[in-house]
Structure 1
Amino acid sequence: MICALASSVCFGAASVLQAMGARAATPGTGGGVDVALMGRALRQWRYLAGLALDGTGFVLQIVALRTLPIYVVGAALAASLAVTAVIASRLLRVRLSRVEWTAVAVVCAGLALLALAAGKEGHREGSDALRWALLAAAVGVLLLGVVGGRLPQRPRALVLGLGAGFGFGVVEVAVRLIDGIDFADPVWYALLVGGGAAFLLLTSALQRGSVTTATAGAVLGETIGPAIIGVVWLGDRTREGLGWLAVTGFAIAVAGSLTLARFGEPPEVDETGRVVAAGAGTGAGPAKG
């Protein structure tokens, strides 16, 4: 659980840095998913710093997924938005409303309930059908990006965000299914394709649409599906008689995270990199000092 929460801290800090890097990159032409955008974003130091934090968070996530049910880790990762909100309020001096501070408390309460109710990770081995289905889902994320990138601006961010969430969900399940290095196992390719596609879609969504909408879509995509797979196919369980508590904790943690989705939006900065205002459309006042 400590690793899951530490992973959430890393991802929460990384999301703001990556969003700032994506917005600072030279925009491409057209409305679709911009494959070259990743290369341009990698020239931004903030994006690179975000990737470094993501790498650390991913290692911690792997440790957590090997010892905890997927639904617990997924909810903890969604809680990274609460981490981002707190960082923004302290370091960027972004004002949080009472509703948002309440949402932070709700996320923490939901995680506490999950920690009390969670049982051990399931010990079922994934079937061959599940492994191949996971690879198909990873390829489907790429196709969803192609389709979503052609949509009008308003639904585009939601579809790309959902696609990114599905890709990160593929990674969560793949980590559970991997048992040693075997490149004949389709799960390895699902991990690589799903993770790569998720980063590509999320980067495009951060630059080309509403980051709040994209982040909310990603939270839904990476929590609900993997949690169901963990319970139904991999045998994740709760402590005896506490299933209702786990469901309640999961639901309120995700709901609180969705309330904080606007904190995927980067703050506005001037030419020197100094924060001059909260993210566009957030409703927060300008940063002081």
Structure 2
Amino acid sequence: MLCALTSAICYGTASVLQAVATRSAGPGTGSGLDPALLSRSLRQWRYLVGLCLDGIGFLLQIVALRSIPLYAVGSALAASLAVTAIASVRLFGIRLSRAEWGAVTAVSAGLAMISLASGPKADRAPPADLGWSLLAMVLVVLLSGALLGRLPGRPRALLLGLGAGLGFGAVEVAVRLIDSLAVPGILIGPALYALLVGGATGFLFLTSAFQHGSVTVATAGMVLGETIGPALVGVIWLGDRPREGLSWLAFAGCAVAVAGALALARFGEPPVEATGRKGWESRTGS
């Protein structure tokens, strides 16, 4: 759980840097998927620092995923928005209202409840076709990008963010499905490819969502996609369970943590100092 929380700190700080860098990279093409925008963002030092933090966070996330249930890791990663809010206070001088500090407290309380209720990672063997189903799902999400780019601002940002969350969520599930790093076994199974395609899909969708619409809405969609999806897979197919008699506490903790994170979704939005615009970027889409 400590690794999952440290991973959330890395991801939360990275999201501030990457959101600012993406908005500084110039206008996109208007497409749902914009590889050229990602290429321009990679020339921004803030984006590169954010990627380094993402890499550290991912290594810590792998340790957590191999040790505790998926729902616990997902809820801990949702806390990255609380980290983003606090980082925005430190880096940009943004003030949190009492309600927003309450949301930070709610996230912390929810994670404490999950930590108390979580049992060990389940050892149940996954269904034989789960890896292929996961890879197929990620490919469908990836191919949907061109269609999503034609939607108006708010729905487009929400669905691109949700698609990014599903991609990152696929990475979480794929880590659990990989039993060994031995070659050639890892190259034959679908889990490695679901991990790679899921990660690439998440970055492409999230970068485009930051550029083409409200970062607040996109971040909220991402949190929902990367917490609820893997949690359901873990409970239904991988056998993740809370401690005996504490299911209610785990469920309540997940609900409180995610609700608090969604209340803080606006802190994915670059502030005026970083964007050069008056006021925050529109929360209803650009």
TM-score range, shorter chain: over 0.9
5 Å-filtered alignment, 1:118-129, equals: 118-129=118-129
Paired position in structure 1 for 2:243: 239
Paired position in structure 1 for 2:114: 114
CA RMSD of aligned residues (A): 1.6
- Give every structure 1 segment of 4 or more consecutive aligned residues whose post-TM-superposition deviation is greater than 6 Å: 275-278
Paired position in structure 2 for 1:269: 273
Paired position in structure 2 for 1:280: 281
Summarize the Cα distance change of 1:195–1:111 in structure 2 as closer, same or farther, 3 Å threshold: same
Provide the C-alpha distance between the structure 2 equivalents of 1:86 and 1:209, rounded to a whole number of angstroms.
23
Provide the C-alpha distance between the structure 2 equivalents of 1:157 and 1:190, rounded to a whole number of angstroms.
23
TM-score when scaled to structure 1?
0.93
Provide the C-alpha distance between the structure 2 equivalents of 1:117 and 1:30, rounded to a whole number of angstroms.
45
Provide the C-alpha distance between the structure 1 equivalents of 2:64 and 2:13, rounded to a whole number of angstroms.
19
Q: How much has 1:73 moved relative to structure 2?
A: 0.4
Decide whether the 8 Å contact of 1:12 with 1:83 is kept in 2.
yes
* Structure 1 residues not aligned, in runs of 5+: 283-289
Q: How much has 1:3 moved relative to structure 2?
A: 0.2
Decide whether the 8 Å contact of 2:214 with 2:281 is kept in 1.
no
Provide the C-alpha distance between the structure 2 equivalents of 1:146 and 1:136, rounded to a whole number of angstroms.
17
5 Å-filtered alignment, 1:1-289, equals: 1-181=1-181, 182-269=186-273, 279-281=280-282
Decide whether the 8 Å contact of 2:17 with 2:47 is kept in 1.
yes
Q: What amino acid does structure 2 have at the position aligned with 1:135?
A: L
Summarize the Cα distance change of 1:33–1:241 in structure 2 as closer, same or farther, 3 Å threshold: same
Provide the C-alpha distance between the structure 1 equivalents of 2:105 and 2:279, rounded to a whole number of angstroms.
22
TM-score when scaled to structure 2?
0.94
* Structure 2 residues not aligned, in runs of 5+: none
Identity %: 63
Secondary structure, counterpart of 1:54 in structure 2: helix
Summarize the Cα distance change of 1:12–1:147 in structure 2 as closer, same or farther, 3 Å threshold: same
Number of residue pairs matched? 279
Decide whether the 8 Å contact of 2:28 with 2:212 is kept in 1.
no
Decide whether the 8 Å contact of 2:92 with 2:273 is kept in 1.
no
Decide whether the 8 Å contact of 2:12 with 2:83 is kept in 1.
yes
Give CA-to-partner distance per residue, 1:137-162, whole Å, 9 cap, x none: 11012023222111111210001000
Provide the C-alpha distance between the structure 2 equivalents of 1:32 and 1:14, rounded to a whole number of angstroms.
22
Decide whether the 8 Å contact of 1:141 with 1:198 is kept in 2.
no
Summarize the Cα distance change of 1:105–1:185 in structure 2 as closer, same or farther, 3 Å threshold: same
Give CA-to-partner distance per residue, 1:53-109, whole Å, 9 cap, x none: 000000000000000000000000001000111121233210111110100000000
Provide the C-alpha distance between the structure 1 equivalents of 2:137 and 2:252, rounded to a whole number of angstroms.
28
